[in-house]
Structures are given as C-alpha cells and as structure tokens.
Amino acid sequence: MSKPISVIVIGGSHAGLAISQKLLRQTSRAAITLINPSDEYYFNIAAPRFIVKPKSLPQSKYFYSIPEAFREYPAGAFAFVKGLVTKIDYSSKSVSVVFSVGSGPAIATSFVFDYLVIASGSTTPATLGQAGVRLPFKATAFEDTRQAIYQGQEMLKLAKRIVIGGAGPLGVELAGELAEAEGSKKITSENGTITPTAEKWLTLFGCLVWFFKGKDFLTYEAPKFLRGQMR
Ligand SMILES: Cc1cc2nc3c(=O)[nH]c(=O)nc-3n(C[C@H](O)[C@H](O)[C@H](O)COP(=O)(O)OP(=O)(O)OC[C@H]3O[C@@H](n4cnc5c(N)ncnc54)[C@H](O)[C@@H]3O)c2cc1C
C-alpha cells in the first residue's frame, strides 16, 4: 500500500473544517492533521445576536466540539492538534506549533506535510482586545473566547451610549440587535454610505445614524462628540 499523503490544515473554522471533511470523504489516501488553538468550532456568524442578547442562544448552539465532528474517521486518516502554528518552513515542508500561550513556557513541536492548507482566516484588533471594547466576532486563541464573550456581554449591558465605527453588514446588524434589545440610546456611525433601507429601519428603532469621514472618527474626542450630537 502506498504511503498516505500528509495534509496539514491550519485553522478549524468554516474553511478548515469544510476542506478537511471534503478531503476525507473524497479520498482515503490523505492523512489529515487539523491544527487549531481551540478544540471547539465557534459559530461566529451569530455573534452580534448573542453578544447583545445573551439569552437569545444557548452556548451549545455556537460552540461545537471539533474532535466530535470527526469521530467517524480512524486515527490514521484524521488527527486533531490543539495548538497554534507559529511558523511555516517551505524548504523542509513543516510547520512549527505551540501548545500554550501565557506566562508559562510554550511547548513547541513541528509537523511535516506534503500539502498545506492555510485556513487561518482573519482577526481584527477588536477581536484581539487591542482597541476599545473587546467583542469576539472571531475566535480568540486558546479557549478564552467564552470568557471574552461574557466580558463583551457585560460591557454592552452596562454601556449607556455605544458608537459603532463602520456600518457595513456587521455594523448595521449589531446596531439593529442593540436597538431591538432593551436599553438606552444607541448610535451607529460610519465613514461611507449606508443603504436607505438600513438607515430607515435603524432610525425607526431609535439609532442615531451619523455620517463622517474616517479621520474624524479616529480623532474625535468621545464625550464632546457624543454630547454635540445628542442635543
Ligand atoms: C459577526 C460576523 C457575522 C458574519 N456573518 C456572515 C454571514 O452571515 N455569512 C457569511 O458568509 N459570512 C459571514 N461572516 C464572515 C465569516 O465569518 C468569515 O468569512 C469566516 O469566518 C471565514 O472563515 P475562515 O474559516 O476562513 O476563517 P476564520 O473564521 O477566521 O477562522 C480561522 C480559524 O483559524 C484559527 N487560526 C488562526 N491562526 C491560527 C494559527 N496560527 N494556527 C492555528 N489556527 C489558527 C482561528 O483560531 C480560527 O479557528 C461573518 C463574520 C462576522 C465577524
């Protein structure tokens, strides 16, 4: 029997899970190693709803066990590694992986591959807690997504005024959820355009829709700006 083809998949979210499942169904020649910092898949698409309204969905509807989803496949065909890829070396066809982050020393190892799938997606400063309120619209590394969700929910609950920078699909959806939830005045802000329908509905639900340029948003002084517009 020929040696299995080793495929490493980085990232256990929509793309990484789908490609792993599809490869496993289509061929028995591949040995897949899926690497993700959490052993849970996070259904982030519903995040605007459950971050604003914690009781709207139980956690079992947006966290799913990754190993459980692959339990039908034998160990030789599929392996899950809970870790973070820190380096890809194309000359040796290997990836370096750490198994923990934080104060203790990170344990590291490497895995070789014939084929590599990079499905590590994208993260934002807000997701990583680098700017303003941390709202986990994407999974955070090493299991603190649940904690981040809880903190985000509590912050939004206590907030009296909320500025949303950006009115793309996520900004509008978040504003709609906030407007529908019980609470005081909510604001959505943006630096381009918003569809007339979205503006009409947000206004109807009590949101203040404010148009301004990116530079103004970055430099405004929050309390002054808010007081000025709320009068
Ligand atoms: C709030 C919200 C709502 C959305 N709603 C929709 C919608 O309704 N419809 C739609 O089509 N799209 C929607 N999107 C977009 C959709 O979520 C993304 O397109 C999708 O998440 C991309 O999936 P992905 O698997 O490529 O990457 P991601 O979901 O970003 O997942 C990347 C995975 O890789 C892991 N990872 C990252 N770095 C490493 C590393 N170094 N080593 C190992 N693992 C790593 C991460 O932990 C994560 O599990 C929405 C996005 C948001 C934020």
139-156 pLDDT, tens digit each = 887 678 898 899 889 988
Within a 10 A sphere around the Cβ of 103, how many other Cβ atoms? 5
What's the CA-to-centroid distance between 44 and ligand 1, angstroms? 7
- What the chain holds in terms of domains, given with CATH numbers, is 5-48+62-118 (3.50.50.60), 159-230 (no CATH)
Q: From 8, 9, 10, 14, give the residue whose CB has the most ligand 1 atoms within 8 Å, as the site to mutate.
A: 14
CB-based contact 139:39 (threshold 8 Å) = no
Between 180 and 188, where is the model more confident?
180
Residue in 215, 152, 222, 214 with CA at minimum distance from that of residue 187: 222
For residue 14 and ligand 1, the question of a CB distance below 6 A is answered with yes
Residue 147, both tokens: 């904690």
The DSSP call for residue 59 is G
Atom of ligand 1 nearest to the CA of 83: 43
The answer to whether residue 160 scores a pLDDT higher than 90 is no
**What pLDDT is stored for residue 169 in this prediction?**
82
Atom of ligand 1 nearest to the CA of 140: 47
**What pLDDT is stored for residue 195 in this prediction?**
65
Global pTM? Answer: 0.84
Identity of residue 31: A
**What pLDDT is stored for residue 58 in this prediction?**
95
**What pLDDT is stored for residue 221 in this prediction?**
40
The answer to whether residue 229 scores a pLDDT higher than 50 is no
For residue 171 and ligand 1, the question of a CB distance below 6 A is answered with no
Indicate the helix (H) or strand (E) that contains 125.
none
**What pLDDT is stored for residue 177 in this prediction?**
85
Atom 7 of ligand 1, residue of closest alpha carbon: 45
For residue 107 and ligand 1, the question of a CB distance below 6 A is answered with no
Within a 10 A sphere around the Cβ of 118, how many other Cβ atoms? 14
Q: How many CA atoms lie within 13 A of 1 on its CB side?
A: 6
**What pLDDT is stored for residue 204 in this prediction?**
62
CB-based contact 138:127 (threshold 8 Å) = yes
Report pLDDT digits (tens) over 49-97.
999 999 999 999 999 999 999 999 998 999 999 999 999 999 999 999 9
What percent of the chain lies above the pLDDT cut of 70?
70
Cβ-proximal residues to 154 (8 Å cutoff; 6+ apart), any chain: none
Residue in 224, 190, 6 with CA at minimum distance from that of residue 112: 6
Cβ-proximal residues to 4 (8 Å cutoff; 6+ apart), any chain: 29, 30, 31, 76, 77
Strands 78-82 and 63-65, sheet pairing: unpaired
How many Å apart are CA 73 and CA 26, to the nearest integer? 13
Indicate the helix (H) or strand (E) that contains 124.
none
Identity of residue 135: L
**What pLDDT is stored for residue 226 in this prediction?**
35
* CA angle centred on 157, ends 61 and 39, rounded to 5°: 30
Confidence grade of residue 223 (pLDDT, cut at 50, 70, 90): very low
For residue 8 and ligand 1, the question of a CB distance below 6 A is answered with no
